[in-house]
């Protein structure tokens, strides 16, 4: 069972539809028992870092998610859902993230010819092998919508990068915690394969 975390800050329906397309039966929930009994957890997210953390706190979700991660359940954060896995963001100074992974969320620097937010298709490069990218060729294109990007403290957790005037840490993994800055649910067949790798692959998860 796949638990989609409901905290009033997610692009929930598009992720849910993509999973249903893959033959899964996800549940949208913020219930502790359902989350802790899930085989996989997905944390979507759109909006601001501060609002997302406020909503997560309002529903008591940080402690539940930490318990789930500590118990070994694979967790995937998508877009803002990936950003809140880290410690802090320039978007909402003074607001602490979940801190499951170390790094900061920075504003994409303004450069001539580049629009912010970064919205559209970009190719990925793989600095190292990532479990989410099995059977997906390097330089495949995925869909981004964001104004802030991750700079991970430990680059060994970075499994995909993209270039948009700055090197964006586009996907990360450490143990059972995964993140994608881009939207796999909006990235066509490539994105569906990424989600399939997360929800179906057993070895190494």
Cα distance between residue 182 and residue 145, in whole Å: 7
What the block records as the tokens of 66 is 């930490």
Question: Catalytic site residues?
Answer: 79, 183, 185
* Helices within the chain (DSSP H only): 12-21, 32-36, 49-58, 61-70, 80-83, 188-200
What the block records as the tokens of 105 is 């969320």
Cα distance between residue 173 and residue 171, in whole Å: 7
Residue given tokens 């809140």 in the structure block: 84
């Amino acid at each position: 069972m796949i638990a989609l975390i409901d905290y009033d800050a997610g692009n929930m329906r598009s992720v849910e539809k993509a999973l249903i397309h893959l033959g899964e039966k996800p549940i949208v929930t913020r219930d502790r028992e359902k989350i802790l009994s899930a085989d996989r957890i997905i944390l979507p997210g759109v909006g601001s870092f501060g609002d997302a953390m406020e909503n997560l706190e309002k529903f008591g979700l940080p402690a539940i998610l930490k318990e789930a991660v500590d118990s070994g359940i694979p967790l995937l954060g998508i877009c803002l859902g990936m950003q809140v896995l880290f410690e802090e963001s320039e978007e909402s100074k003074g607001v602490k993230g979940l801190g499951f992974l170390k790094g900061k969320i920075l504003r994409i620097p303004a450069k001539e010819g580049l629009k912010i937010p970064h919205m559209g298709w970009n190719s990925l490069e793989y600095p190292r092998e990532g479990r989410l990218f099995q059977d997906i060729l390097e330089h495949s294109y995925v869909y981004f919508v964001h104004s802030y990007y991750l700079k991970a403290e430990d680059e060994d957790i970075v499994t995909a990068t993209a270039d948009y005037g700055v090197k964006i840490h586009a996907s990360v993994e450490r143990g059972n915690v995964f993140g994608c800055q881009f939207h796999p649910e909006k990235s066509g067949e490539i994105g569906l394969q990424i989600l399939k790798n997360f929800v179906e692959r057993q070895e190494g998860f």
